[in-house]
Amino acid sequence: MTKGTIDYEVPITMASDTAFPNLSLFNHVHSNKSTVCHDLWPFLDMQVRENLPSFYIATAIAACVLNIVTACIALTLNAFAIFAICMTPSLRKQPNNYLFCSLAVSDFCVALSSQPSFVLAEILLISGRMEPYCYAVFVHFYTSWVFCGISFLTLSAISIERCLALLLHLRYTELITSARVIIAVLTYWSIWITWMTILWFGVRHRVLTDSLIALGFLIAAIDGFCYFIIIKNVKRHNLQIRQLTLCTVTDRQDLERCRRATNTMFFLVSAFVLSYVPFAITTGISALQEHEDLRTSAAHCVAVTFVSANSCVNPLIYFWRVGEFRHVARRTLRKLNFIELVGRNHSVFQTRVHSFLT
């Protein structure tokens, strides 16, 4: 091992041992300082990263800038969404809004932890500080698995909730209450965080990783079934809306409200899937490569940026599709005198332009 570098030679069986490195903090006390870099070997080839080509540096810098911008937007918009739900009684009465709140909290946490750790990791890599880079990468991996996983679970819960709303009709308000939704949200948050913490910091066992993969396929299958039921019922509801003579005004309003909420779910799910398509492609290409190619890694940086950007797209969908979210945002901005300030500045600007032209 030469001076200023880390010896990254590890057993070849390590990459196939598990998908989660065992990074117990207790083990770090008795290990050498390159433990984290060794444990990250299945994911990253540290030797390749010691001499970065210019195209990778340019791509990483662009990805960092985009992550900083989208993180700031996500923090602001998701904070508004959380505030809107917590401070508006009419929003708190609707059980599905607690699922939107869960999604907003997980997106807020992505912008607060995953994106800054990604930016820090790339800066440390470009500056050649490999040991801190490994720790930053670990934080990014762990927080991404935790909060992006919760976003996936929340979207699945939203799909199930919409499916039940279409199937249960009048029994929906009796069975799906705000208290039950809150309990469900707290339950899957607790289970998922505990599971991820055990996998990343504690027990490294094949059964746990295989169970995680099986759970992912099971949830995807349930989601697919829910979407099939939802699409089938939405078509029937659209037909009922067109047949105005068969529906009262109240029935039409209920059907329209249900259809709009269902369409909002489709927009959220579509945004989530589209943001993960580049990530899935680059991950698949990387898995097929015998040795890491930094061209693929550069593309993966961009793909990770798309995934993170989803955290600022979701609140935009809330405010676009749900009128009460927009009303709360406007009311809050008025209290902060932002709208009045912008209006005054705009009027002054118009007056000056008019006087200049005349």
Q: Residue 136: which of 149, 119, 159 has the closest Cα?
A: 119
Q: Each residue of 310-319: pLDDT tens digit? A: 999 999 998 8
pLDDT tops 50 at residue 171: yes
Give the amino acid at 299. A
Share of the chain above pLDDT 70, in %: 75
Q: Residue 320: which of 274, 268, 256 has the closest Cα?
A: 268
What is d(CA 168, CA 187) in angstroms, rounded to the nearest whole number?
A: 23
User: For residue 22, is it left (φ>0), alpha (ψ between -120 and 50) or beta?
Assistant: beta
Sign, CA dihedral 225-226-228-233, equals positive
What is d(CA 24, CA 95) in angstroms, rounded to the nearest whole number?
A: 39
Contacts 24+ apart (CB under 8 A), 80-84: 80/315, 80/319, 80/328, 80/329, 80/332, 81/315, 81/318, 81/319, 81/325, 82/108, 83/328, 83/332, 84/324, 84/325, 84/328, 84/329, 84/332
- pTM, to two decimals: 0.80
What is d(CA 105, CA 161) in angstroms, rounded to the nearest whole number?
A: 19
With tokens 């990604």, the residue in question is 118
pLDDT category at 19 given cuts 50, 70, 90 is very low
Q: Each residue of 142-157: pLDDT tens digit? A: 999 999 999 999 999 9
Give kind and range of the element (H or E) at residue 98.
helix 96-109
Q: Each residue of 203-244: pLDDT tens digit? A: 666 777 778 888 888 998 998 999 888 888 877 766 666 665
Residues 6+ apart with CB under 8 A from 153: 188, 192, 219
Least confident of 107-111, 176-180, 183-187, 211-215: 211-215
At residue 93, the pLDDT reads: 86
Average pLDDT of span 163-179: 85
The answer to whether residues 322 and 264 touch, using CB atoms and an 8 Å cutoff, is yes
Average pLDDT, the chain: 79
Q: What does the DSSP 8-state code read for residue 48?
A: G
Residues 6+ apart with CB under 8 A from 347: none
Sign, CA dihedral 7-11-13-19, equals negative
Q: How far is CA 225 from CA 160, 221, 232, in A?
A: 9, 6, 11
Count of C-beta atoms within a 10 Å radius of residue 283: 15
pLDDT tops 50 at residue 5: no
pLDDT category at 262 given cuts 50, 70, 90 is confident
